[in-house]
């Protein structure tokens, strides 16, 4: 088994892919040169404290206590074993702030938080010592996963409470998972051969004042959403082929007239996915419609084994007036495909909808890429600032902990998730409904004895998830609740936004899994129906073939010879056809899906099929975060 990769951290070059790698087990190594800069800042702070310079969060209290300076000794006198006040301040900051509630975040989220926090502290503007950062990295590399309950951050001043749950384990307190076992933090350190850290100047504030929770959830959600957008294009392509749909709406010169980047990318992707398909853009008259199977439906035992019958309706000559040009191109038969040059919006507008989601994702990725290598705590320390006149120039209280840049980007992405789920649900519903499926059997099952529901109820589940996603899409970022006695009077709620987004992306995957379940079944029927028509055309005589066509003039009738001649032309075209199949992309996805989920001939317990479909999507997209 290959060893897990090791990610080099220097504070300036961390990528989304590297965060995902660490979240899923990679280790980290700290850049030695940059550690020197980290230590330089810590030494600078220590020197300023020795000079008794007042520095927020170092020699003052926090938040609404910022106007209270630390004294030289405790007012009640020193007690045996007491840390100096500066160290006690940092220690108590962590222990008092670890107050989150709820279920713990999954290990992937917590590991992503750890690597993000270590990386930002590596920039050397936070005041932590090199030894403290090394201890934090050792905790991560040892596989210790602090228990971080999900609820408790308002996204400014950063993710104070959840980051305190990270840091408290470094102090030998709190709780952590090690090897899947939930342990007291001190015991987890001891089992890993590590010792607790005693914090120095500003280290508590540096460890818990930043955007690591919201950023970690944003990175993991963006990574999975990117894979799901790609899968949505593939699901759409399979659905289009199951409809024997039209592809001209995806042409490059069409989308050049409205060049939104995501739209152009989705259209190009759909063109590539549909390349080689002989089902898309098939002539209308070649597509039969499904009819209920009857014992006399088919002339041979092999065809009689099918779970459906097929048919067309003939268009008499007196109904072709004004449509002569159309019937020069297409034979006068109505089967499964309606005679119209455009498909419904859920198919035709897939590039516009999927592309808009791609654009929302691109904005989130842009913000995340900046944030990953940003300094997000407070105050910021500039030990070597040129032209600095006093300590106020070198230690600056600012607001980089405020999560609004990430929160708003996640709000945008949250709004996009139910949009992608909704269009997916509309496609699967269209495939199930005989009024809209262009000739497929109702609910995609033969139902010869009227006892089968087929995949009908699958749409209910998809509809329930879409509604749930829509109700959760309300942006948390627009509703601030002031904290810290109104010292922190405007907050981002970005942590809630990220938690919502990550969970919503998981549920989006479930909707796409249901579309895939339905589209695979529909594709089976469409292919099998057309292939049955080809086989009948090759093996049966004209009279047997013509019996599949409704609206036929009776014998004797002046139009009967014309009817038979046109039936023969349809039969000859079908017989001469080389075959109809999805393109290689849909065929490969269909085959992989069918290896996990078999087709449905008649009703059976579907819970296993649905679970297998969801599992397929989770595996395809890299697993749940």
Q: Which one, of 148, 139, 52, lies nearest residue 99 by Cα? A: 148
Contacts by 31-36, CB closer than 8 A, 24 or more apart: 31/122, 34/10, 34/122, 34/123, 34/124, 35/122, 35/130, 35/133, 35/134, 36/130
DSSP string computed for 436-476 = TSSSPPGGGS--TTS---TTHHHHHHHHHHHHHHHHH-S-G
Helix/strand/coil for 599: coil
- What is the chain's length? 625
Between vectors from CA 264 to CA 589 and to CA 257, what angle results, nearest 5°? 145
Is 567:547 a contact under the CB 8 Å cutoff?
Answer: no
How far are the Cα atoms of 127, 167, 386 from residue 45, in angstroms, in the given order?
Answer: 7, 21, 17
Distance CA 71, CA 83 (A): 14
Question: Which DSSP symbol is given to 105?
Answer: P
CA nearest to 24, candidates 191, 170, 223: 223
- CA 88, CA 208: separation in Å to the nearest integer? 15
Which one of the listed residues 56, 201, 284, 412 is annotated catalytic?
56
Nearest to 585 by CA among 376, 146, 272: 272
Q: How far is CA 79 from CA 71, 74, 90, 92, 198, in A?
A: 16, 9, 18, 16, 18
Task: For residue 174, give the DSSP letter.
Answer: S
Taking the C-alpha atoms of residue 375 and residue 415, their distance in angstroms, rounded to an integer, is: 28
- 56 counts as catalytic: yes
Taking alpha carbons only, the member of 208, 312, 370, 373 closest to residue 532 is: 312
What 3-state class would DSSP assign to 161?
Answer: helix
Start-end of H helices in 275-403:
301-304, 324-329, 345-348, 350-372, 391-394
How far lies 282's CA from each of 152, 432, 587, in Å? 56, 21, 17
Structure tokens at 267: 């259209």
Return the DSSP state at 477.
G
Between CA 109 and CA 116, with CA 111 as vertex, the angle to 5 degrees is 95
| Strand partners for 176 | 146, 183
Among candidate residues 48, 76, 158, the one with its CA nearest the CA of residue 113: 158
- Contacts of residue 212, Cβ cutoff 8 Å, sequence gap at least 6: 113, 114, 116, 117, 120, 158, 159, 162, 163, 166, 376
Please list the active-site residues.
56
């Amino acid at each position: 088994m290959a060893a897990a990769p090791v990610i080099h951290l220097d504070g300036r070059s961390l990528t989304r892919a590297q965060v995902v790698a660490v979240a899923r087990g990679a280790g980290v190594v700290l850049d030695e040169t940059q550690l020197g800069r980290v230590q330089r800042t810590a030494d600078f702070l220590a020197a300023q404290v020795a000079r008794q310079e007042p520095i927020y969060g170092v020699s003052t209290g926090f938040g609404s206590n910022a106007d209270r300076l630390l004294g030289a000794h405790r007012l009640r006198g020193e007690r045996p074993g007491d840390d100096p006040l500066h160290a006690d301040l940092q220690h108590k900051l962590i222990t008092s702030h670890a107050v989150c509630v709820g279920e713990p975040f999954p290990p992937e989220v917590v590991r992503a938080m750890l690597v993000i926090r270590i990386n930002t502290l590596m920039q050397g503007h936070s005041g932590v010592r090199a030894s403290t950062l090394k201890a934090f990295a050792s905790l991560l590399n040892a596989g210790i996963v602090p228990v971080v309950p999900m609820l408790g951050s308002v996204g400014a001043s950063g993710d104070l409470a959840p980051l305190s749950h990270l840091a408290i384990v470094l102090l030998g307190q709190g709780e952590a998972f090690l090897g899947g076992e939930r342990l007291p933090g001190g015991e987890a350190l001891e089992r890993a051969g590590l010792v607790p850290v005693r914090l120095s100047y500003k280290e508590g504030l540096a460890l818990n004042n930043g955007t690591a929770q919201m950023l970690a959830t944003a990175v993991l959600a963006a990574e999975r959403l990117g894979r799901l957008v790609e899968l949505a294009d593939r699901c759409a392509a399979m659905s289009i082929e199951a409809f024997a749909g039209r592809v001209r709406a995806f042409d490059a010169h069409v989308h050049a007239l409205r060049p939104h980047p995501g739209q152009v990318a989705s259209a190009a992707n759909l063109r590539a996915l549909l390349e080689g398909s002989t089902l898309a853009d098939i002539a209308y008259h070649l597509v039969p419609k499904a009819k209920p199977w009857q014992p006399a439906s088919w002339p041979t035992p092999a065809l009689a084994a099918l779970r459906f019958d097929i048919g067309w309706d003939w268009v008499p000559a007196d109904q072709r007036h004004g449509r002569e040009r159309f019937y020069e191109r297409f034979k006068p038969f109505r089967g499964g495909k309606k005679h119209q040059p455009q498909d419904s919006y859920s198919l035709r507008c897939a590039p516009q909808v999927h592309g808009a989601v791609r654009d929302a994702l691109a904005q989130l990725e842009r913000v995340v890429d900046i944030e990953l290598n940003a300094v997000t705590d407070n105050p910021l320390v500039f030990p070597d600032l040129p032209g600095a006149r006093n300590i106020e120039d070198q230690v600056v209280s600012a607001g980089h902990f405020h999560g609004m840049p990430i929160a708003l980007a996640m709000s945008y992405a949250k709004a996009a998730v139910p949009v992608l789920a909704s269009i997916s649900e509309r496609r699967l519903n269209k495939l199930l409904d005989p009024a809209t499926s262009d000739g497929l059997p109702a609910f995609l099952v033969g139902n010869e004895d009227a006892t089968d529901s087929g995949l009908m109820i699958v749409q209910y589940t998809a509809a329930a998830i879409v509604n749930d996603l829509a109700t959760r899409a309300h942006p948390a970022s627009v509703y601030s609740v002031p904290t810290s006695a109104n010292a922190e009077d405007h907050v981002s709620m970005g942590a809630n936004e990220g938690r919502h987004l990550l969970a919503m992306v998981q549920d989006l995957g479930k909707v796409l899994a249901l579309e895939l379940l339905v589209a695979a079944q529909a594709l089976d029927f469409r292919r099998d129906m057309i292939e049955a028509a080809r086989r009948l055309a090759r093996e049966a005589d004209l009279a047997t073939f013509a019996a599949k066509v409704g609206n036929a003039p009776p014998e004797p009738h002046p139009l009967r010879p014309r009817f038979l001649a046109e039936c023969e032309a349809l039969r000859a075209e079908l017989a001469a056809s080389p075959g109809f199949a999805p393109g290689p992309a849909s065929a490969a996805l269909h085959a992989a899906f069918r290896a996990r989920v078999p087709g449905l001939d008649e009703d059976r317990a579907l819970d296993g099929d649905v679970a297998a479909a969801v599992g397929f999507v989770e595996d395809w997209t890299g697993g749940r975060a």
